[in-house]
Amino acid sequence: MAHKLSAFLAALLLGGCVGAGEKTEPAKPVKGEKRFEVEDFKLTKARIEPFKGAGGGKVVVLTHEESEATKFVPLKKGAYELIVYGYAPSFDEDGFFVHVGDKLDQRMVIPDIKKLLPTKPLPFNATKDGPCEVTIALGEEHVKFDRVVIRPVKK
Annotate 128-153 with b (16+ C-beta within 10 A) or e (fewer).
eeeebebbbbbbbeebbbbbbbbbbe
Give the pTM. 0.81
Instruction: Read off the pLDDT of each residue in 71-83 and give the average, rounded to a whole number.
Output: 97
pLDDT for the residue 5: 34
What stretches of the chain show up as alpha helix (H) in DSSP?
2-15
Task: Please give the Cα distance from 19 to 21 (Å, whole number).
Answer: 6
Span 15-72, pLDDT tens digits = 333 333 333 445 567 788 999 999 999 999 999 999 999 999 999 999 999 999 999 9
Provide the number of structural domains found in the chain: 1
Task: Please give the Cα distance from 107 to 112 (Å, whole number).
Answer: 15
CATH classification of the domain holding 49: 2.60.120.260
Q: Which domain holds residue 107?
A: 2-152
Instruction: Read off the pLDDT of each residue in 111-130 and give the average, rounded to a whole number.
Output: 96
Start-to-end CA distance of the chain, whole Å, equals 49
Q: Are 100 and 84 in contact (CB under 8 A)?
A: no
pLDDT for the residue 35: 96
Backbone angles phi, psi at 5, to 5 degrees: -65, -45
Which amino acid is present at 75?
L
